[in-house]
């Protein structure tokens, strides 16, 4: 199947199926047009796919081999250089197209900057948005653009989607006051633990869209990301949360965003690739 706005790129090394019969459908979004400190997230989708070559497809602690699962990779979205809204429109149209041919597919976005999550959420219309991020992303506008990656959670909340945020350690007073007014729940990275996650997420309506801005992890795990922040979460913090979420909530879509880097084998891409395998494996465990 051909999609209007996608092109072929590096693939995962194990047998892939077509998007029509897949459970998991990977879509890269190589866009970093509004990143404000370090560029390079446009290379994220390719770096993550390449990093998967380093990993065993067998998840030891699950006794699941994700190579046996129906995974499709439909390539990357052809971005509109410098325009986060038009690019997110292409993401939205691609995910809508996918859901028309395969309503049970779980889209997995590989970014690319966080602004592009908006396109997938607009297409999937989840009831809730659960996000791991160093940043609140609740700015009304940033650098004269309301579709800047620093605004994505505000645009999503404006769609009427309930929001819960974890790993937060960067934002403005205006964003904190906005979250208070709008009833947006968030947990500071220094206060994060598994119980805090479950307490906030257990009552959220389904389906849930799960977004991981890679900068939620500690800087040591993700040195190559657009707006790095010290004091982040541990790898198993987020894996444990993913496991609880896929066990207890219907997940409409997933993404791993803000992965940057300039070289193959970059640490940040390896962290992202391992998380990708755990997400697929956690759902796959229920399927097998
Ligand atoms: N959500 C994000 N990634 N935020 C991007 C904006 C970061 C604001 N830096 C402000 C620097 C002030 N010196
Ligand atoms: Mn973000
Ligand atoms: Mn962030």
Q: ipTM score of the complex?
A: 0.94
- Work out the pLDDT band at 265, boundaries 50, 70, 90: very high
Q: Report the C-alpha gap between 231 and 210 in whole angstroms.
A: 22
* Ligand 2 center from residue 21 Cα (angstroms): 31
**Residues whose CB falls within 8 Å of the CB of residue 159, separated by 6 or more in sequence, listed in order:** 121, 122, 125
Lowest mean pLDDT among 1-5, 19-23, 87-91: 1-5
The confidence score (pLDDT) of residue 150 equals 98
The confidence score (pLDDT) of residue 231 equals 98
| Domain range annotation of the chain | 6-287
Mark the residues whose beta carbon lies below 5 A from ion ligand 3: 133-135, 213, 215
**pLDDT surpasses 90 at 1:** no
The confidence score (pLDDT) of residue 260 equals 98
Was 137 annotated as part of a binding site?
A: yes
The confidence score (pLDDT) of residue 8 equals 85
The confidence score (pLDDT) of residue 262 equals 80
The confidence score (pLDDT) of residue 27 equals 98
- Work out the pLDDT band at 37, boundaries 50, 70, 90: very high
Was 2 annotated as part of a binding site?
A: no
For the chain, the average pLDDT equals: 97
* Ligand 3 center from residue 160 Cα (angstroms): 22
Residues having CB closer than 6 A to ligand 1 are 36, 135, 137, 142, 149-150, 227
**pLDDT surpasses 90 at 51:** yes
The confidence score (pLDDT) of residue 11 equals 87
The confidence score (pLDDT) of residue 36 equals 86
Give the ligand with the smallest distance to the CA of 139: 1
Residue nearest to atom 1 of ligand 1 (CA): 150
**pLDDT surpasses 90 at 9:** no
Residue nearest to atom 4 of ligand 1 (CA): 150
The confidence score (pLDDT) of residue 29 equals 98
**pLDDT surpasses 90 at 288:** no
* Ligand 3 center from residue 264 Cα (angstroms): 22
Q: Which residues sit opposite 71 in a β-bridge?
A: 24
- For residues 27 and 116, the answer to whether their CB atoms sit within 8 Å is no
Give the residue from 34, 52, 45, 55 showing the smallest Cα distance to 110. 45
**Matching residue, tokens 């992202």:** 272
The confidence score (pLDDT) of residue 71 equals 98
The confidence score (pLDDT) of residue 2 equals 87
* Ligand 1 center from residue 210 Cα (angstroms): 22
Q: What pTM was computed for the model?
A: 0.98
The confidence score (pLDDT) of residue 13 equals 87
Q: Report the C-alpha gap between 188 and 152 in whole angstroms.
A: 18
Rounded to an integer, the average pLDDT of 134-158 is 98
Supply 239's token pair: 């894996």
Rounded to an integer, the average pLDDT of 208-226 is 98
Report DSSP letters for 80-146, one per residue.
-TT-HHHHHHHHHHHHHHHHHH-TT-EEEEEES-GGGHHHHHHHH--SEEEEE-SB----S-BTTBT
Q: What is the pLDDT of residues 234-244, one digit of tens each?
A: 999 999 999 99
The confidence score (pLDDT) of residue 107 equals 98
Share of the chain above pLDDT 90, in %: 95
- Work out the pLDDT band at 17, boundaries 50, 70, 90: very high
Q: What is the pLDDT of residues 63-116, one digit of tens each?
A: 999 999 999 999 999 999 999 999 999 999 999 999 999 999 999 999 999 999
CATH architecture assignment, domain 6-287: 3-Layer(aba) Sandwich (3.40)
Q: What does the buried/exposed string (b/e) look like for 172-210 if buried means 16 or more CB atoms within 10 Å of the residue's CB?
A: eeebeebbeeeebbbbebeebeeeebeebbeebeebbbb
Rounded to an integer, the average pLDDT of 252-271 is 96
Q: Report the C-alpha gap between 256 and 272 in whole angstroms.
A: 7
């Amino acid at each position: 199947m051909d999609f209007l706005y996608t092109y072929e790129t590096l693939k995962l090394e194990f047998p892939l199926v077509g998007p029509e019969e897949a459970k998991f459908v990977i879509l890269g979004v190589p866009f970093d047009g509004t990143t404000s400190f370090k560029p390079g997230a446009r290379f994220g989708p390719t770096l993550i796919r390449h990093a998967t070559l380093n990993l065993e497809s067998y998840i030891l602690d699950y006794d699941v081999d994700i190579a046996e699962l129906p995974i499709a990779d439909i390539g990357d979205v052809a971005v509109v250089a410098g325009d986060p809204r038009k690019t997110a429109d292409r993401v939205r149209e691609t995910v809508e197209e996918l859901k028309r041919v395969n309503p049970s597919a779980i889209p997995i976005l590989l970014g690319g900057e966080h602004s592009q999550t908006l396109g997938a959420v607009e297409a999937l219309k989840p009831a809730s948005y659960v996000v791991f991020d160093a940043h609140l992303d609740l700015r009304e506008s940033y650098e004269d653009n309301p579709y800047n990656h620093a605004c994505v959670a505000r645009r999503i909340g404006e769609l009427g989607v309930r929001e819960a945020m974890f790993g937060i350690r960067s934002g403005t007073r205006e964003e904190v006051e906005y979250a208070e007014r709008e009833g947006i729940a968030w947990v500071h990275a220094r206060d994060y633990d598994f119980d805090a996650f479950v307490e906030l997420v257990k009552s959220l309506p389904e389906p849930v869209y799960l977004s991981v801005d890679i900068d939620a992890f500690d800087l040591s795990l993700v040195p190559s990301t657009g707006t790095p922040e010290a004091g982040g979460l541990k790898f198993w913090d987020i894996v444990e949360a993913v496991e609880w979420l896929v066990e207890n909530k219907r997940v409409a879509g997933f993404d791993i965003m803000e992965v940057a880097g300039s070289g193959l084998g970059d640490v940040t891409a390896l962290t992202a690739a391992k998380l990708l395998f755990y997400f697929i494996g956690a759902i796959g465990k229920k399927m097998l």
